[in-house]
């Protein structure tokens, strides 16, 4: 299959790493990193654009040279420039860049003085006390590096957003209770609602001498302190999660909140806009030529001075949000209240933990108008998949419950396995009885991309098929996404009147943000579903909504914002 955008982005990142080790021009290195980010966030396939001979140079951060490199990668599957670089740098050096505190300059020094060229030689040199002999290094640096080497596995791990949610809320509540504290807010990728976070960024304004830093460092879950200053401190919690705290004056709070929310690329772009207007932008505000602060108290001030609407944090990835804000065409992002029901859940009849009735009541309590009951099919034996007869009996049970229960409509559904040949794991006449049919891949994850794509499209050919559940089948941190030609699948879904799911399970969040936007741009609606396996998980909609917002989705882009009547109509192909 054609080279994916992610692969092209990885090539550029790799080149940037290697150039960095070589001590190349930092701006060239940044150009490669910027390009990698652009490529990663694109909602069209570059291979496709190359095939159609479109002008890649018109993409931001892609100039003549990088456009040629993209074409080379697409056409030959490799890049000569990368091969050349790989052969001139020891392969272990790139790993060394991941050690916190080690940048390209120190790295080169260690290589030149001690012949350090990978993690092993670094550790050996540090243990033997040889690092401290290198100019610019001392005993403390040596000790820190040894410690970082030990923690490397832990520190390079990213956490699921939902994994840190409780802790983040506790920490914010704890800080808000401290005397003299005026405002405490989460920033960083946590606030932007990225599906995973590498650390937490917290912003505080407090009166002078409030002792907020001591309080922060004294938080019960803190394991060690990395740095401690008067305005900024960094700690590591027992879970390995790093937390940064910044203290700023209230007049700067908006500027600081904006700055520490990021993303980095978004911030740099805003600063450049400031420079073009003759201002200086930093975390303390926007300053004119005389050094007078002309904005800073709120984020809205910052954006409005730049001639823009306030941009929701989920959009701040430098993927066109600044242009949209300047032109007043930011999307009106979906909110949880827009959802009218849930289209994917399980009960004890397959692998759920709660009964049909309990799930129905819980959904009604959440204000849902409808809930689709979608057990597994028999091919998925480990999850208690249903045979045809069992499904028919379950449909009867759902009908019966619908008779007696008011305030919510249960939809008869199924999460049917898409078998390796693209057929569905349930007889046609049984599928006909359903209100909604989700198809999902639960086996054969590693098929080649064109085979996998054909398999899915063949499944969608079935007239009963409505929604492709968790399309790539990824489990973050556990299983990679299936190789799929998502553009073809989306086009096929549109032609057939099918939909793709955004599965709200925190480890899935599948579709991801880029694919959500790709769907929106094609006019393909997304089904936002929890795949709840218990009553408590019905509230996972909030995770799905966050992902949808990152994908620029509005109410109209999501299938289950429709009322029951329109939903049922949309499910008739």
Partner DNA sequence: GCCGTTTTCGGCCCGACTGTTTTCAGTCG
With contact defined as beta carbons under 8 Å apart, do 311 and 525 qualify? no
- Report the residue number, 251 or 268, with the smaller CB distance to DNA: 268
- Are the beta carbons of 190 and 169 closer than 8 angstroms? no
**Nearer to DNA by C-beta: 235 or 447?**
235
d(CA 421, CA 415): 17
**In whole angstroms, what is the distance from residue 467 CA to residue 437 CA?**
7
Task: Output the CA torsion sign for 533, 437, 455, 550.
Answer: negative
Q: How many CA atoms lie within 13 A of 321 on its CB side?
A: 28
In whole angstroms, how close is the CB of 486 to DNA at the nearest point? 26
Smaller CB distance to DNA: residue 80 or 573? 80
Nearer to DNA by Cβ, of 326 and 401: the residue is: 326
Size of the site for DNA (CB under 7 A): 63
| Shortest Cβ 535–DNA spacing (Å) | 38
Interface with DNA, residue 295, by CB under 7 A = no
Minimum Å gap between C-beta 379 and DNA is 45
Which residue's CB is nearer to DNA, number 128 or number 432?
Answer: 128
Task: Tell me if the bond preceding 511 is cis, omega within 30° of 0.
Answer: yes
176 binds DNA (CB under 7 A): no
At residue 439, φ and ψ (nearest 5 deg) are -110, 140
| Binding test (CB under 7 A) with DNA, winner from 11, 102, 373, 482 | 102
Is residue 188 near DNA by the rule CB under 7 A? yes
> From the list 55, 230, 406, 572, which residue makes contact with DNA (rule: CB under 7 A)?
230
271 binds DNA (CB under 7 A): yes
**Whether 285 contacts 294, CB under 8 Å:** yes
Among 32, 190, 540, 543, binds DNA (CB under 7 A): 32
One residue of 52, 53, 55, 135 binding DNA per CB under 7 A: 135
Stretch that binds DNA, among 270-278, 310-318, 334-342, 555-563 (CB under 7 A): 270-278
Q: Nearest approach, Cβ of 95 to DNA (angstroms)?
A: 13
**Could you say whether residue 105 binds DNA (CB under 7 A)?**
yes
Q: Which of helix, strand or coil describes residue 200?
A: strand
Cα dihedral value 121, 125, 126, 132, nearest 10? -140
> What are the angstrom distances between the C-alpha of 239 and each of 99, 149, 160, 233, 246?
19, 17, 13, 18, 21
Smallest separation, CB 70 to DNA (Å): 9
Q: Which is nearer to DNA, 148 or 415 (CB)?
A: 148
Question: Rounded to an integer, what is the distance from CA 552 to the centroid of its chain?
Answer: 13
Q: Considering the complex, what minimum distance in angstroms separates the CB of residue 438 from DNA?
A: 40
Tell me the window of 72-80, 225-233, 364-372, 437-445 that interacts with DNA (CB under 7 A).
225-233
Is 265 within 8 Å of 37 (Cβ atoms)?
A: yes
Piece in contact with DNA (CB under 7 A), picked from 20-28, 121-129, 354-362, 509-517: 20-28
- Residues 173, 272, 294, 480: which binds DNA (CB under 7 A)? 272
Q: Rounded distance, CA 157 to CA 96, Å? A: 16
The answer to whether residues 168 and 177 touch, using CB atoms and an 8 Å cutoff, is: no
Q: Which secondary structure element, helix H or strand E, spans residue 438, and what is its range?
A: strand 436-440
Find the helix or strand (DSSP H, E) in which 458 lies.
helix 449-461
Cβ atoms within 10 A of the Cβ of 545, count?
24
Pattern 41-80, binding to DNA, x per CB under 7 A? ----------------x--xxxxxxxx-------------
The crossing angle, in degrees rounded to 10, of helices 449-461 and 486-496 is 10
* Window 467-526: residues binding DNA (CB under 7 A): none
Residues near DNA, by CB under 7 A: 25, 27-28, 30-32, 35, 57, 60-67, 81, 99-107, 132, 135-142, 144, 188, 199, 201, 227-233, 242, 244, 260, 264, 267-268, 271-272, 274-276, 278, 280-284
């Amino acid at each position: 299959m054609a080279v994916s955008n992610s692969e092209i982005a990885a090539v550029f990142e790799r080149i940037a790493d290697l150039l960095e080790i070589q001590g190349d021009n930092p701006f060239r290195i940044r150009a490669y990193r910027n390009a990698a980010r652009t490529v990663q966030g694109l909602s069209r396939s570059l291979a496709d654009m190359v095939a159609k001979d479109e002008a890649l140079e018109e993409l931001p951060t892609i100039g003549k040279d990088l456009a040629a490199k993209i074409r080379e990668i697409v056409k030959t599957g490799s890049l000569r420039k990368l091969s050349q670089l790989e052969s001139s740098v020891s392969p272990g050096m790139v790993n060394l860049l991941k050690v916190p505190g080690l940048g390209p300059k120190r790295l080169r020094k260690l290589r030149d003085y001690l012949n350090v060229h990978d993690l092993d030689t670094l550790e050996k040199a540090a243990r033997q006390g040889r690092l401290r002999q290198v100019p610019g290094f001392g005993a403390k640096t040596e000790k820190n590096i040894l410690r970082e080497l030990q923690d490397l596995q832990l520190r390079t791990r990213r956490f699921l957003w939902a994994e840190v949610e409780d802790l983040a809320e506790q920490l914010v509540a704890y800080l808000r209770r401290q005397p003299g504290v005026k405002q405490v807010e989460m920033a960083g990728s946590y606030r932007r609602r990225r599906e995973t976070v590498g650390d937490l960024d917290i912003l505080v304004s407090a009166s002078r001498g409030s002792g907020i830093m001591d309080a922060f460092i004294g938080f019960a879950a803190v394991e060690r302190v990395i740095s401690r200053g008067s305005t900024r401190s960094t700690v590591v919690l027992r879970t390995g999660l790093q937390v940064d705290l910044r203290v700023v004056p209230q007049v700067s709070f908006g500027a600081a909140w904006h700055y520490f929310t990021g993303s980095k690329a978004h911030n740099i772009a805003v600063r450049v806009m400031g420079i073009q207007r003759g201002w200086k932008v930093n975390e303390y505000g926007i300053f004119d030529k005389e050094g007078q602060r002309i904005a800073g108290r709120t984020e809205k001030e910052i954006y409005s001075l730049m001639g823009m609407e306030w941009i929701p944090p989920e959009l701040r990835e430098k993927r066109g949000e600044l242009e949209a804000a300047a032109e007043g065409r930011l999307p009106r992002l979906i909110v949880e209240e827009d959802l009218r029901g849930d289209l994917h859940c399980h009960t004890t009849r397959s692998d759920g933990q709660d009964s049909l009735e309990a799930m129905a009541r819980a959904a009604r309590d959440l204000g849902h108008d409808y809930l689709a009951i979608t057990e597994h099919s028999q091919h998925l034996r480990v999850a208690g998949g249903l045979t045809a007869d069992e499904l028919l009996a379950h449909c009867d049970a759902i009908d019966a419950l619908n008779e007696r229960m008011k305030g919510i409509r249960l939809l008869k559904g199924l999460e049917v396995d898409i078998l390796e040949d693209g057929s569905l794991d349930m007889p046609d006449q049984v599928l006909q009885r359903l209100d909604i049919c989700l198809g999902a891949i639960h086996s054969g994850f590693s098929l080649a991309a064109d085979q996998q794509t054909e398999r899915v499209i063949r499944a969608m050919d079935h007239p009963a098929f409505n929604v492709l559940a968790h399309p790539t089948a990824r489990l973050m941190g556990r299983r990679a996404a299936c190789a799929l030609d998502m553009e073809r699948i989306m086009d096929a879904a549109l032609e057939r009147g099918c939909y793709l799911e955004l599965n709200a399970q925190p480890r899935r969040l599948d579709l991801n943000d880029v694919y959500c936007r790709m769907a929106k741009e094609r006019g393909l609606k997304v089904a936002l579903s929890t795949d709840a396996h218990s009553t408590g998980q019905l509230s996972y909609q909030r995770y799905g909504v966050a992902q949808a917002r990152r994908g620029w989705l509005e109410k109209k882009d999501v299938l289950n914002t429709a009322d029951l009547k329109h939903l049922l109509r949309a499910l008739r192909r």
